[in-house]
Structure 1
Amino acid sequence: MTVCWAQGAFSREGQAVRAARDFAADVLARWGLPEGLRDEVRMCVSEAATNAVLHTTATAATTVFEVTLDLLRTESELRVHVGDGDPDRVPVATRPELEDTSGRGLLLIKSMAHDFTVTRTRRGKTVSFSFGIPQPRRIPGAAR
């Protein structure tokens, strides 16, 4: 089994969400993943990272959240983990009112990703989601 792995840590200050999003896009491009998949992952990373920045408290043990990307080629899956240091505020997907200007990030992730979980850890919490990696189509009878 081939496993590609990359990890980045970003401060909650400044351009953290942009840095996390760009990091994910760069890694996925290096791994040769299709542009459409990279766009979906970037959007989900952006939403999860925004939640990590906006919804962690100032008293959290750390002001750093990290983006971890795991690619398992043989299982055709990309797993993404976005963690922060605040175990007390666990995100919950809700149905916002039509006029609401926020509250759609987790719903977006859940609609785009194959699965979505939130796990409390010793260091805080981790939002995880996965995507299937498109496989080349095999033509019956074609040479291998």
Structure 2
Amino acid sequence: MTNPKAGRWRYRFRRAWSWPKPVEEFISLFLISPSLHIFCGESGLGDVRVDLHLDADVKADAFHLPFRGECFRTVLADPPWHLAYHLRPRIIRECVRVLKIGGRLIWNAPWWPNSRKLKVKEVWYAKPNTYRNCPIILVAEKVSAS
């Protein structure tokens, strides 16, 4: 879509709280069912989609997921990048709690999900063409029990 008042600049618009299609296609390669997507926004990825504010399968906050422990083979998380430092370990602990041993955590954030229960397997980044945040996608395996 082109904005006629934008002069020489062209803008492409998409729904808020969603990833561009190529990003969703790339991330979908790592999903193993059953999968949980927390902070899902408008994304259709994941067998179970959780968000506090948007139209998701389950409305819940990521600090208190309403699932039993070790019930998902994949947890996909795109937490708020500005999340306060002292809250970050709580999110990671909750992701690890619901993830089966041998399962995958797919993490999209500019900060590392530190946990002795996770072993990082792959790190991917997208090099932007402009001066903006660089998306980092980390794939980790749960190696020990919650």
TM-score bucket (shorter structure): 0.3 to 0.5
Using the size of structure 1 for normalisation, the TM-score is: 0.32
